[in-house]
Amino acid sequence: MTQAMDEKKKYKRPESVLVVIYSKTGRVLMMQRVFPEDFWQSVTGSLEWGESAEQAAIRELKEETGLDADGLINCQFSQQFEIYSIWRDRYQPGIMHNQEHVFLMPLESCEEIQFDPREHSKTQWVSREAAIQMATSHTNREAILRWVPDNKSNP
């Protein structure tokens, strides 16, 4: 491995996954970050160097919720966003944007989640509309709006 590659691997890869978990009963899982504590999101995480988006989605799903990836759907969609300033020091100098790949995890019902307390302080199953309002990231809001079925019969 070259010295330049070793140096690069000290930093996070500016590519991530977003896994929106929802139940067929019309609820969306939202997770509150430990820091910043007013940050609500779906499952997210950076790709490790040499890892595919699908591998990262499977890994992050297990790490953040304890769920297996049976039924994971790759939306074949990604979007770029500006990295929040509070997290930019994790990336190589000059890196300002991240490429996010969207996945869905539909479940039959709201399941018990085994979240990692180092990363999240609590979880909530909420309506699609509440999840759209809660999501701190605009890309997370847009993914819920675009891919989670609108099931108005289960508020």
Q: 18 and 42 in contact (C-beta within 8 Å)?
A: yes
Q: Domain tally for the chain?
A: 1
Q: Which residues pair with 43 in a beta bridge?
A: 19
Domain assignment present for 1: no
Domain assignment present for 135: yes
Measure the CA–CA gap between 101 and 148, rounded to whole angstroms. 16
The β-bridge relationship of strands 27-33 and 120-127 is antiparallel
Domain assignment present for 154: no
Domain assignment present for 47: yes
Domain assignment present for 4: no
Domain assignment present for 37: yes
pLDDT digit string (tens) for the chain, length 155 residues: 566 556 667 899 999 999 999 999 999 999 999 988 899 999 999 999 999 999 999 999 999 999 999 999 999 999 999 998 988 999 999 999 999 999 999 999 999 999 999 999 999 999 999 999 999 999 999 999 999 999 765 44
- The CATH number that applies at residue 102 is 3.90.79.10
H-assigned helices in 66-137: 128-134
Count CB neighbours of 71 within 10 A: 11
